[in-house]
Amino acid sequence: MSVESSLHYQQEFFEHFNQAWQEKSSYQLYRGLDSTADNLRLPIEEAPGYILAYDKNAQQELQDFLQARFIAFLRQHIPFFEVSDDGRVFFGDWYHRREFGQVSAFSRTITQFTDEEQAIIPQLTIFAEDPDNYLDSQLEAMRKDVYRDVNRLQNQLETETAAAPEAETSNGGFRGLLKTFIDPTDDEPVDKPQGVPTNTNRLRQQFNQVKADADHEFDQKKRQLQVSAAITRYEYQAVLSQYSSIAQFENVLDNLKQDFMQALKAEGGKQNA
């Protein structure tokens, strides 16, 4: 391309982009951004800066305009999403609802920045595999993790007791005592056995402390898991009210840009479209 033809192309492009802005045509503005990104091999987020001579105020004005149009589309396209005017996307309108991500006007996507946001879809996928037993599976996995050290100490105590059978109590043996201790639902007090070797006493004291800490941690995390599972169930029900599966919902998210551009094109790329 010669200098003259290159300048002519540039002039023609900016005339079209200016016309699109004057007409407030989102469709034509996006076409200009996409063509610039493709031709210059730029990330789409960098195309506005190139077109607008890296003027920060102009870029913000363009982003605000396009974002308002994309938010309006998103509110209709995925009805159970609550989208604030500043582009924050929330999953549902219930108590303890979770933030799903942030609208990205230029890329026409929802960007997830935090680990909590990125965990929502995987959690929904796991929930969909067995909704009725989701909470029980979560609790059992958490129980194993919380009581790992308790179980280790229990095994050590049983080994110590086996080596000193005379230390067993008359109410069924030290093994039965440990079984009572390891059950977090058993609140009955247990009398300390007499005549237990010093090492075993120290180990039992450590066991008691670790067990008490584990019980406290389990109760706290159990409540958190119950709330989390309830929220995930609400989200799952919301998805199935609109789509046949979590996979279809993911497909809708993956195709937001294409669907949005098709919607704008269907409106004819006219003013305020």
**pLDDT means per 10 residues in the chain (273 residues)?**
83 95 96 96 96 96 98 97 97 93 98 97 97 96 93 87 60 52 54 60 89 94 95 97 97 98 84 57
For residue 185, being part of any structural domain is answered with: yes
- Residue 36, in any domain of the structure: yes
Residue 67 and residue 13 in one domain: yes
**Domain-embedded: residue 272:** no
Question: Are 186 and 222 in the same domain?
Answer: yes
Do 57 and 139 have their domain in common? no
What is the pLDDT, as a whole number, of residue 41?
Answer: 95
Together in a domain, 144 and 111? no
DSSP string, 126-178: HHHH-GGGHHHHHHHHHHHHHTHHHHHHHHHHHHHHHH-GGG--TTT-HHHHH
Dig out the tokens for 51 from the structure. 């077109």
| H helix count then E strand count, the chain | 12, 4
Residues 225 and 142 in one domain: yes
Q: Answer yes or no: is 273 within a domain.
A: no
d(CA 165, CA 196): 9
Measure the CA–CA gap between 39 and 271, rounded to whole angstroms. Answer: 26
Q: Are residues 28 and 101 both part of a single domain?
A: yes
97 shares a domain with 52: yes
- Residue 182 has a pLDDT of 55
Quote the pLDDT of residue 158: 85
The strands making up 81-83's β-sheet, listed across from edge to edge, are 81-83, 88-91, 98-104, 109-111
- The answer to whether residue 202 sits within a structural domain is yes
Q: Is residue 191 part of a domain?
A: yes
User: Are residues 97 and 138 both part of a single domain?
Assistant: no
Indicate whether 271 belongs to any domain: no
> What does the alpha-carbon distance between residue 193 and residue 195 come to, in Å, rounded to a whole number?
7
Q: Establish if 248 belongs to a structural domain.
A: no
Residue 259 shares a structural domain with residue 193: no
Helical H segments across 41-147, by residue range: 47-51, 56-77, 115-118, 120-129, 134-146
pLDDT at 16: 96
Residues 105 and 208 in one domain: no
**Are 217 and 137 found together in one domain?**
yes
Structural domain containing residue 149: 133-234
Residues 82 and 23 in one domain: yes
How many independent structural domains does the chain possess?
A: 2
